[in-house]
Amino acid sequence: MKAGVIVFPASNCDRDAAVTLAHVTGQSVTMVWHKETALPQLDLVVIPGGFSYGDYLRPGAMAARSPIMRAVVEAAERGVRVLGICNGFQILTEIGLLPGVLMRNAGLTFVSRTVGLTVGTERSPFTRRYARGERLHVPIAHHEGNYLADSETLDRLEEEDRIAFRYTDNPNGSARDIAGILGADRNVLGMMPHPERAADAALGSTDGWRLFAGLVEELQ
């Protein structure tokens, strides 16, 4: 699997994502600068966590308008897998690849902790290695992770089985405990928790590893 990571100014989980991807895929990972206008041939595009453009204006708002994102949208429409983690999830909602918004946490403070998740669906290239209802432990670290969409959208996400992960103990006020959702074609995933920080036994959890391993397997 050929994976690429988009690098915005003040992305700060770009290296973490690349380290995990290189480990899982056994291949080098392409870092794509935000000023580029085209993507190389990739099977997976990761939009990493961080504070792209300082989160000024609104998290993800400026990154969504950067040159590279037009190419990412086109790739997603062609079926390329796109994974947005944390700030990446915020960017995917800003650009409209995923519905809803991520508001400031209900507690109004930044929250950094390892949270419990349940797997909402195994029906996606990202979650195929998990069992529906399985419990995972994955770190979160965000200030704006409070997912909100209108109730019609939320109902549709549930009906279409597009809720990839839910919090077991909601840390940020997200509607229906949503931690991650899939796009309509199931090739785009946005999630606030950081699977790349849960893919190394030395760090305490390997529950995020299968997300990446499942993507690799699916392409074989």
Partner 1 sequence: MSVDADPEEELTIVGDPSTEKQALDHGLSAQEFAEILRLMNRAPNLTELGVFSAMWNEHCSYKSSKLWLRKLPSDGRHVICGPGENAGVVDIGGGLAAVFKMESHNHPSYIEPYQGAATGVGGSLRDVFTMGARPVANVNALRFGAPDHEKTKHLVSGVVAGIGGYGNCVGVPTIAGEVTFHPRYNGNILVNAMTVGIAPADRIFYSAADGIGNPVVYVGSKTGRDGIHGASMASAEFDDATEEKRPTVQVGDPFTEKLLIEACLELMDEDAIIAIQDMGAAGLTSSSVEMAAKGGVGIELVLDRVPQRETGMTAYELMLSESQERMLMILRPGSEAQAKAIFDKWDLDFAVIGETTDTNHLVLIHEDDCVGAIPLSALADAAPVYDRPYEAPPALSPIMGRDVSEAMPADEALRTLMASPSLASRRWVWEQYDNTVMGDTLQIPGGDAGVVRVHGTRKGLAVTSDSTPRYCAAGPLDGGRQAVAEAWRNLIAVGATPLAITNCLNFGNPERPDVMGQFVYCLEGMAEAAHALRFPVVSGNVSLYNETNGRSILPTPTIGGLGLIDDIDLMMTLAFKAEDEDILLLGRTDGHFGQSLYLALLAGREDGAPPPVDLAQEARVGHFVHRLIRDRLVTAVHDVSDGGVAVAIGEMALAGAVGASLTPDLETMDLPLAALLFAEDQARYCVTVPAQLTETVLAEAADEAVPVTRLGKTGRNSIDIAGCASLSLEALRASHEDWLPKLMSGAL
* Smallest separation, CB 74 to partner 1 (Å): 25
Binding to partner 1 by residue 168, rule CB under 8 A? no
Cα separation, 125 vs 76, in Å, equals 13
Question: Of these, 71, 111, 175, 213, which contacts partner 1 (CB under 8 A)?
Answer: 111
Question: Of these, 101, 106, 141, 148, which contacts partner 1 (CB under 8 A)?
Answer: 141
> Which range in 69-77, 116-124, 176-184, 189-197 contacts partner 1 by CB under 8 A?
189-197
Cα separation, 83 vs 47, in Å, equals 6
Which residues from 39-68 bind partner 1, rule CB under 8 A? Answer: 49-51, 53-56
The size of the interface with partner 1 (CB under 8 A), counted in residues, is 29
Binding to partner 1 by residue 15, rule CB under 8 A? yes
Residues 6+ apart with CB under 8 A from 90: 59, 60, 84, 102, 144
Question: Of these, 27, 74, 79, 110, which contacts partner 1 (CB under 8 A)?
Answer: 110
Crossing angle of helices 14-25/209-219, nearest 10°? 50
Question: Of these, 28, 203, 217, 219, which contacts partner 1 (CB under 8 A)?
Answer: 203
Of 50 and 88, which has the nearer Cβ to partner 1?
Answer: 50
Which residues does the annotation mark as catalytic? 86, 194, 196
Phi-psi region of 41 (alpha: psi -120 to 50; beta: other; left: phi over 0): beta
> Which residues of the shown chain bind partner 1 in the complex (CB under 8 A)?
9-10, 12-13, 15-16, 19-20, 49-51, 53-56, 109-113, 139, 141, 143, 194, 196-197, 200, 202-203
